Amino acid sequence: MYFFVLFIVVFVIGPLLFRSGLNHADLVNKARFLMLVPALLGVAGWGAKVLAGAAWGRKLWATVPGIALVWLGWIGLLVFCAARIQVLIPSAIGRKWTRALGAIGTTVPWFGLASAQMMTG
């Protein structure tokens, strides 16, 4: 059940969040804001890990918030990169490819998690 929920979050919610981030054209022009959000989310995820202490990795309540914050930071970074690429390549085909590859990029953490799970048994 745990992996099914995680699968839905990563493969459905992640691309939807990415698409939603790119659909806000007013944010695309605010490059500093788009650079700052992933950094703050990453630091918050690291802070959640530090605050969880010994429970990190052993208790779900201690691990999920930190991982979720880092994952949201990853999506924010993809939104920033895609927004900047769309400015550089303003054609319709460039926009389609940027959106497609960015949405695919949101799923990369799933493959890392699946690989780690496979290696540890």
pLDDT at 53 over 90: no
Task: Give the chain's mean pLDDT.
Answer: 85
Query: How buried is 114 (Cβ within 10 angstroms: 0-12 exposed, 13-18 middle, 19+ buried)?
Result: middle
pLDDT at residue 78, as a whole number? 92
pLDDT at 15 over 90: yes
Q: Packing angle between helix 60-88 and helix 31-52, nearest 10 degrees?
A: 160
Mean pLDDT (whole number) for 89-118:
88
Q: Tokens for 71? A: 């994952």
